Each structure stands twice: as C-alpha cells, then as structure tokens.
Structure 1
Amino acid sequence: MTITQLKYLLSVAEHQNFTTAAEHSFVTQPTLSMQIQKLEEELGVLIFNRKKKPVELTPIGERIIAQAKLIVDESNRIQDIVDQQKGFIGGEFRLGIIPTVMPTLLPLFLKAFLNKYKTVNLVLEELTTEEIITKLSDGHLDAGIAATPLENNIIKESVLYYEPFVGFVSENHRLYQKEKINEEDLDISDLLLLEDGHCFKDNIINICKTDISSNKEHFNLQSGSIETLIKLSKEGLGMTLLPYLHTLDLKDGDEKYLRNFEGTVPAREISLIYHRSQLKMQLIDALKKSIDGVIRGAIAFHDVKIISPLQKKRG
C-alpha cells in the first residue's frame, strides 16, 4: 500500500469516474486503474462498484476512504512540519474567500503579497462560507476568509477587521431625507437582499431582528450580486445595506445615496479561518500581516457592534 495509491482512491471517490480522476491526478487512466486494482487485490476487497454509473463506493470502500483521507492529510503535514521548522514561506496555499469580500479585499493586498512572497503559489476560490468549511474539513483548502464568529469546533478564527454596514438609499425612499439611519429604521419588507447561501444576507436579517418570512410585500428580490442590489435600489425598488469597503468603489455621484448609522455602528467581523490541525502557520501569519498592513488605512471605524452571520432562531 502506498500514499500514491491512496491519493488515487480519493480522486476516484471525489469524481466518481476513473477517467476524470486520472486527469486530475495527472496520470493515464490505465495507470490509475491498475494501481487501484493492485490495492484491492492486496486488501482482498472491492473498494468501488464499477457496475454503477457514476462509480460508487462499496460499504467497506466508504470506511477505507475515510481512513485514506486521514493518512494522506497526515502525510502532507510532514512537509509542512519541515517548512515550519525552517521558517520557509512558499509552496501551494489554497485560499477560499466569500463573494462579498473577494472583490474589495483582494485588490488591497494581493499584488503586494505576491511580490513579497514569490515562492508562494496562491490558489484562490470564491466560495460560500458553508463551502469553505466543507473544503477545510476535507483538506481541499488551507484557509478561508469569511464572516465570523462561526461557532465551529474544528475551525480556528483569526480576526482581520471589522467592516461596518452602510445604508444605500434611493431618492424616493422614506429614509433618503435622513442624514443618518439607525437599526430601528430598517424594515425587511423594503430591503433588497443577497440570495440564500450568502452569510451577508443573514447579517442583515440579524440587524433587522426579524425573519425574512415576515416579508409579505408584493415585491421581493434576492440577488447573488451586490452590484445588482445597488442598481435596483437606484431604480427605486428598495434600499440595501453595503459592506463598507464596497462604498469605496462606487460610481461618481452615487455617494449621495449612502447613509451611515448613527451611534454604535453594526458591523461584520471578517476573519482568516483554518482547520484546527493546520500546520502552514507561517503562511497564514504572512497572509494576515499583509492584510493587516493595508486594512487599517482603509477602515477607521472603532465604535462598532458585531453582527453574527449565523442564522438566529426567532419565536
């Protein structure tokens, strides 16, 4: 039994197809199939049911795959231990970022980070928080950037910054004449929201202290794009809330639609998150320092109230 054979097993289990698994493993399909067959013969069991399309795991195969994940993960950590001992900052680093953070945060730090750490191969994915947690658990990501707290025992959170919410109010909206708004002004029935799966939507619902199911109005829209929410708000279809960094890149003239909160400002907590057994801490620390170096100049709010991204049960 070899680590390579176990990696082939994991690839087939993930893609449910021998040809696709071989492509992702950078070997020919006959090579991958032969190695898996040799392992099955050595163990005296069938790991995959090849008669099924797509390929399925046998009951014993499911148990073997679970153990194979642990073994491959631990084998990968040997190099991490060596790199950590040497203080080496380099190699592949897979980072997932939620959609409402990626377009505003990346331009602030990415170029400087890559110029400073030229031996790092940074692989970026735009993912929802749920997808990030799943991939961290499966070992398919090294870290993520998401709204916290997440209250997940397998995830460690290192806070990067607190990002205030800002109202975006069209000219015909009831709040347009107010210089500043407060949480009591918000009504879920005229708030344009992101679609399900975006933690930013849950942030906003938690600010409103209500459930979206209470919205009985004739018009309700949930979009996957903050830019779409801005355009629809300007058309008079409702107001929306924006993360502060999104307000720094508005079109000329759109600043007139912004309304800050008065008093203590509701904000979201953005953190670098990683598995509790992660060993690439020298890379995580380097990434955090790079972001810290630019974000302090971009966000100067101090008196904030953190709004959780977790869905709250309401009676």
Structure 2
Amino acid sequence: MTITQLYYVLAVAEHKNFTLAAEKCFVTQPTLSMQIQKLEEELDIQIFDRGKKPIQLTEVGQKIVTQARNIVNESGRIKDIVDQQKGYVGGEFRVGIIPTIMPTLLPMFMSNFINKYPKVNLVIEEHTTEEIIKMLKNGQLDAAIAATPLEEESIKEIVLYYEPFVAYVPENNASYNKKEFEVEDLEMNLSNVLLLQDGHCFTNNVLNICKSSIMPEEHHFQIASGSFETMIKLVDEGLGMTLLPYLNTLDMGEKATQKLRHFKEPRPSREVSLIYSKKELKLHLIEALRNTIAGVVKGAITFQNVDITSPLHKK
C-alpha cells in the first residue's frame, strides 16, 4: 500500500470517473486504474462499484476513503513542517472564498500576494460557507475567507475587517428620503427586501439584523439569484430594495450612489475572517495571506462602531 495509491483512490472518489481523476493527478488512466486495482487485490476487496455510472464507492470503500484522506493529509504535513522550519514560503496553497466576498476582495489582494510570494502556487476556489467548513475539516482546503463567527470548535478564525451593510433603496420607497437608514426601516420593509437565494450566508446576515428567521412571502414573484448585480437592477426597476456589502458600493456610478443609505451607528455589519483548521500546519502561508489582505483593506474599510450580525441561520 502506498500514499500514491491512496491519493488516486481519493481522486476517483471525488470525480467519480477514472479518466477525469487521472487528468487531475497528471497520470495516464491505465496507470491510475492499475494502481487502484493493485490496492484492491492487496486488500482483497472492491473499493469502487464500477458497474454504476457515475462510479460509486462500495460500503467498505467509503470507510477506506475516510481513512485514506486522513493518511494523505497527514503525510503532506511532513513537508509543511520542513517548509515552516526553513522559513520557505512556497508550494501549493488552497484557499476557499465565499461568493459574496470573492468579487470584491480577491482583486484587491491577488496581485500583491502573487508578486510578493512568487513561489506560492495559490489556488483560489469559490464555495459556500457550508462547503468550506467541510473542506477545511477534510483537508481539501488550507484556509478560507468567510463571514464569521461560525461557532466551529475545530476551526480558527482571524478577523480581517468589519464590513457594514448598506441599503440600496428605489425612489418609490418611503425610506428614500431619509439620510440614514435604521433597523426599523428594514423591519418595516422586509416584505419588499430582495435577498440572495437560500444557501448564501449573506441572506442569514440580513435576516438576523431584524431578528427574523424567515422571509415574508408577500412578493408577487420569486427570485433565485446569487448575484448582487441582479438585485441592483431589480431595485432600479422599482421592484424592491436590497442590502449590499460596503465594498460592493465603492465603484457605483453617481446615479446609483444616490440610492445608497448607510445605517445609523452602530452600523449592522458582517465580520470577515481568515479561517483554517486548528490542525493546519501552513501557518507561515496563512500569516503571509493575512498580512497581504490587511495591507490592502485598511485604506478601504476602517469601520469600528459596528454591530456584528451572525452568518448562521437562527431558528
């Protein structure tokens, strides 16, 4: 049994296809299949049910994959220990970012980071918070950027910044004439608030501001969109109001800016953090990423008098 064989097993388990798994592992499909077959023969069991499409794990195969993931992850930590001891900032670094943070934050730090640390192979992946938590625990991600607190015992959180919510209000809304927005305004307009589709923690943030766990069903239409741009265009058509993260409002034109209303202090805000498993050993890379992000956001977002809302769904 070898680490390489276990690595191939994990690839097939993830992609449910031998050809695709081989491509991801940069080997030929016959090589990958032969190594997995050798492992199955050594263990005298079938890890995969090849008769199903897509390929499925057998019952014992599921247990083997769980253990294989632990072994492969732990074997990789040996190199992490050596790199950290030598002060070497390089190698693969997989970072997950939630969709409502990716478009605004990534362009702010990406160039700086890769220019400062050219030996790092930075792999950025967009995932929901739920996916990120699972992948951090499984060792599929080294770190992530998400809204916190997440109340996960096995995950460490380092706060990067606090980002206020900003109301985007159409001219036909009574709150348009107010200079500042209040939580009460949101509660009174809740049936007219356009939110991202379920699954986005930003939606939970907004509902938690007004201490509501459900969205009133008084709209004459339903929207399942993960795009703030879509929400903005619907507001421009007078179909409701929405809330936006502060960084999403910085590049708006003059006409759109006139529809923005900031909350009174303390401003309802989300806490954005760099998170990673407490077992993670690439701490030198995590610190390098934290320093890079801190250097670019401190001039763009420096709010202190804020009221942090939870990204978790409160029942």
Name the TM-score, length of structure 1 as normaliser. Answer: 0.95
Q: Which residue of 2 aligns with 1:265?
A: 267
Moved over 6 A (4+): none
**Match for residue 298 of structure 1?**
300
Aligned to 1:55: 55
Shift in Å, 1:42: 1.5
Sort the Cα spacing of 1:84 and 1:232 in 2 relative to 1 into closer, same or farther, 3 A: same
Say whether the 8 Å CA contact 2:196–2:224 is kept in structure 1: yes
Task: Please name the residue that 1:276 is paired with.
Answer: 278
User: 1:213 Cα shift?
Assistant: 4.1
* Counterpart residue number, 2:112: 112
2:216 corresponds to? 214
2:97 corresponding residue in structure 1: 97
> Structure 2 counterpart of 1:72, which letter?
V
Question: What SS does structure 2 have at the residue aligned with 1:38?
Answer: helix
What displacement does 1:279 show?
0.6
1:62 CA drift (Å): 1.7
> Secondary structure at the residue paired with 1:308?
coil
Query: Aligned partners of 1:139, 1:124: CA distance in 2, in Å?
Result: 15
Cα distance per residue 1:109-149 (max 9 Å; x no partner): 21111111111111111221112122222222111111001
Q: Secondary structure at the match of 2:263?
A: coil
| Secondary structure in 1 matching 2:9 | helix
Q: Structure 1: 5+ residue runs without aligned partners?
A: none
| Match runs of 1:1-315 below 5 Å | 1-186=1-186, 187-313=189-315
The alpha-carbon distance between structure 1 residues 233 and 213, as it changes in their structure 2 partners (threshold 3 A), is closer
Q: Is contact 2:191-2:215 (8 Å) kept?
A: no
Q: Deviations over 1:170-214 (max 9, x none)?
A: 111110001111101112201111111111111011112223343
Q: Distance in 2 between matches of 1:58 and 1:301?
A: 52
What displacement does 1:276 show? 1.5
Q: Partner of 1:273: helix, strand, or coil? A: strand
Question: Partner amino acid for 1:95?
Answer: V
The question of whether the paired residues in 2 share the 8 Å contact of 1:48 and 1:61 is answered with yes
Letter of the 2:200 counterpart: H
Distance in structure 2 (CA, Å) of the matches to 1:216 and 1:119: 54
Conservation of the 8 A alpha-carbon contact between 2:194 and 2:240:
yes
Cα deviation digits, residues 91-114 of structure 1 (max 9, x gap):
111111111111111222211111
1:17–1:223: structure 2 CA closer, same or farther, 3 Å change rule?
A: closer
AA of the residue aligned to 1:247: T
- Any conservation in 1 of the 2:213–2:313 contact (CA below 8 Å)? no
Counterpart-to-counterpart distance in 1, 2:108 and 2:32: 42
Asked if the contact 1:96–1:145 (Cα under 8 Å) also holds between the matched residues in 2, the reply is: yes
The count of aligned residue pairs is 313
Secondary structure of 1:72's counterpart equals helix
Across the aligned residues of Structure 1 and Structure 2, the Cα RMSD in angstroms comes to 1.4
Q: Which runs of 5+ in 2 are unaligned?
A: none
In 2, Cα distance between the equivalents of 1:253 and 1:208?
28
